[in-house]
Structure 1
Amino acid sequence: MKSGDSTTIDVPESAARSTSSKGKAPAVVAAAPVPRAAGGKRALAIFDLVLRISAIVAALAAAAAMGTTEETLPFFTQFFQFQAEYDDIPTFQFFTIAMAIVGGYLVLSLPFSIVCMVRPRAVGPRVVLLILDLMALTLTTAAGAAAAAMSYLAHNGNPNTNWLPICQQFGDFCQKATGAVIGSLIAGALLSMLVLISAMALRRV
């Protein structure tokens, strides 16, 4: 070998890469963060189920209280018996039927609420609940407002039309009717919260 000549050694590319990669730490792949939307929507669904059960109790209790509202005064004559029943007043009849419908709907809506709890990202059941809850809230508000107006008239009367208050004689009747109205107001408040929960859940989609 002559002193002026140079020797070149070919190194394979794969070997060069393996040599250059020595001493370097392996790349760490960051795990994708777990979305928190599903957990928040599941919490809303659980709260929805609890409120729905409470609204069922309030609505059915209001319907039962009004449907059993009656009172017979202890004094009567041979031809007249002084008795007051809820079906003597059409407004109270409407109230009883409306609250029974709302309570029945809330019972039937429980499976949809459970589906939203199991599948928090499901949009269809939540939209159905939102629409039907709004309808139930409208019916509850109408029935409660009408019954409240009639209860006020029974307690205070109307001197301009010579309508005398009947609660001075039929105290138990008016007390049970007022309790039924309060139950409908509680049911309406719970339905309002259910509508807000459905709107919040859909906003997180």
Structure 2
Amino acid sequence: MKNSGDSTVIDVPPTAGSSSKKKAVVSTAAPQQASGGVKRGLSIFDFVIRLGALGAALGAAAAMGTSDETLPFFTQFFQFEASYDDLPTFQFFLIAMGIVAGYLALSLPFSIVCIVRPGAVGLRLLLLILDTVVLTLATSAAAAAAAIVYLAHDGNSSTNWLAICDQFEDFCQNISGAVIGAFIAALLMMFLILLSAFAIRNTH
């Protein structure tokens, strides 16, 4: 048996009635090309999902950063105001989603490299590790903010936490939208991790 380029030559011993040795040629180019096409398709899908997660993270950060509402009352010196910076949890959420969005933006060039070189296992492994770390940050920020949003909508009579969404409707809509965007970004990043793991597995 001999290897030549993308083909494998197999020596077939002569049989009765045959005067010479025959050679059977088995081509291995097609499976290799198919494998490369699958890897490149996964890399393209990875890039598209990263763009979607980036948009969701930016939308979540923007919605939280603009969540500010003031209720008109008797005079301009006596007003009720609700803003994201009144609560440390929302401040942490804004910072965390800014970090997530920044990371996703910086990871786009690396994702493009994976499209050009679908066999770059080391780069894919690096993205897998960093995606996992950033996913943890996004999930923790979204979960912490979701707890405060729940209290803002329903309150808690045991701790005398009053529901404020009946008065601050715009504020609650903004923070609720920010939390939804954060969970969408986290979900898309889960898909990124699964894609990276699948791509690494197919390289072996």
The alpha carbon displacement at 1:78 in A equals 5.7
In the alignment, the residues of structure 2 paired with residue 197 and residue 164 of structure 1 have an alpha-carbon distance, to the nearest angstrom, of 44
- Aligned runs of 1:133-172 on 2, under 5 Å? 133-172=131-170
**C-alpha contact (below 8 Å) 1:52/1:194 kept by paired residues:** yes
Task: Quote the residue 1:88 is aligned against.
Answer: 86
- Aligned runs of 1:30-179 on 2, under 5 Å? 30-34=26-30, 35=32, 36-77=34-75, 79-179=77-177
- Which of the numbers 177, 187, 190 marks the counterpart of 1:189? 187
In the alignment, the residues of structure 2 paired with residue 186 and residue 72 of structure 1 have an alpha-carbon distance, to the nearest angstrom, of 29
- What is the CA deviation profile of residues 11-38 of structure 1, one whole-angstrom value per residue up to 9, with x for unaligned ones? xxxxxxxxxxxx9898564433331221
Q: 1:168 is paired with a residue of what secondary structure?
A: coil
Name whichever structure is richer in strand by fraction.
2
The alpha carbon displacement at 1:77 in A equals 3.5
> Once the two structures are aligned, what percentage of the paired residues are identical?
62
Q: 1:109 is paired with a residue of what secondary structure?
A: helix
Task: Quote the residue 2:10 is aligned against.
Answer: none
TM-score, normalized by length of structure 1?
0.84
Task: Quote the residue 1:6 is aligned against.
Answer: none
In the alignment, the residues of structure 1 paired with residue 53 and residue 136 of structure 2 have an alpha-carbon distance, to the nearest angstrom, of 14
**C-alpha contact (below 8 Å) 1:59/1:100 kept by paired residues:** yes
AA aligned to 1:83 is E
Do the aligned partners of residues 25 and 78 (structure 1) sit closer, same or farther apart at CA in structure 2, a change above 3 Å counting?
closer
Gaps of 5+ in 2: 1-18
**C-alpha contact (below 8 Å) 1:76/1:82 kept by paired residues:** no
Q: Across the two proteins, how many residue pairs are aligned to each other?
A: 183
TM-score, normalized by length of structure 2?
0.85
Q: 1:131 is paired with a residue of what secondary structure?
A: helix
AA aligned to 1:80 is F
Larger radius of gyration: 1
